[in-house]
Amino acid sequence: MTPKAMARLVVVLATLCIGFSISALKAGESNLPKRDGNRPQTTNSVPHVQIGVSPDPLINEALLLEVSKLPGVKIRPTVVSLPGAKGFWLNEKLTLAHPEVIVGGREFAHIHPDGSLHTSLPPERAKEAVEAGWAVLHPWAKQRQGWEGFVMLYTPQSKEESKVVLQLIVESYSFVTGRKSGVHSPKN
């Protein structure tokens, strides 16, 4: 087996082992569980990153694979974040219900090399995510109009955490595009 084929197999196996998929999620239909453990330390400025947290490469790859399955989403280099970060870019055909929450271009979220993610949620859901220990508000969340729900989701460290992080990404997608869920795509 070639190294490239082996890498693909690892990603597929990781996805199966992690046990989450976009098709199993409906935005906003799940309660947000409390996150176990301490909150990672983060910077209080831009660049807004976690301190001393390393991602699990298999979990990150599986998460990116699932995000790429969202209708009209392409994973590409970020246009707003650190070198090495990957942006979640929305197709031009998708209508934006909340364009004011997009930081740049059509990038509705991005994942940093440390595995943390910046995304926008409805403000009430962002508050719930912070209270449950899954997120921290971006330093500019209270300074920019429309950014009240702009958060950093902490790096998922387990398959259970990945499920919640994916759920929140799908909710962000739904919020930004106005779609009821990330998997319902009548036109695109």
CA 146 to chain centre: 18
Angle at 117 between CA 20 and CA 58, to 5 degrees: 45
Q: Taking each helix axis as running N to C, give the angle between helix 57-67 and helix 3-18, from 0 to 180 degrees, rounded to the nearest 10.
A: 80
- Read off the pLDDT of residues 56-102 as tens digits, 9 standing for 90 and up: 999 999 999 999 999 999 999 998 888 889 999 999 999 999 999 99
Q: What are the structural domains, with CATH classification, of the chain?
A: 3-20+43-177 (3.90.1150.30)
Cβ within 8 Å of residue 145, ≥6 positions away:
100
Residue among 114, 95, 101 at smallest CA distance from 153: 114
Pair 132, 32: CB distance under 8 Å: yes
Give the DSSP letter string of 121-142. Answer: --HHHHHHHHHTTSEEE-TTTT
Helix ranges (DSSP H) in 19-102 = 57-67
Cβ within 8 Å of residue 82, ≥6 positions away:
47, 49, 112, 113
**Residue found under tokens 């890498």:** 7
- Read off the pLDDT of residues 129-181 as tens digits, 9 standing for 90 and up: 999 999 999 887 777 777 899 999 999 999 999 999 999 999 999 999 999 76
Cβ within 8 Å of residue 47, ≥6 positions away:
81, 82
Pair 169, 21: CB distance under 8 Å: no
- Read off the pLDDT of residues 34-57 as tens digits, 9 standing for 90 and up: 999 889 888 787 888 888 898 999
Helix ranges (DSSP H) in the chain = 3-18, 57-67, 123-131, 159-177
Size of the chain in residues: 188
Q: Is the pLDDT of residue 27 over 80?
A: no
pTM here is 0.81
Buried b (16+ CB within 10 A) or exposed e, 143-160: eeeebbbbbbbbbbbebe
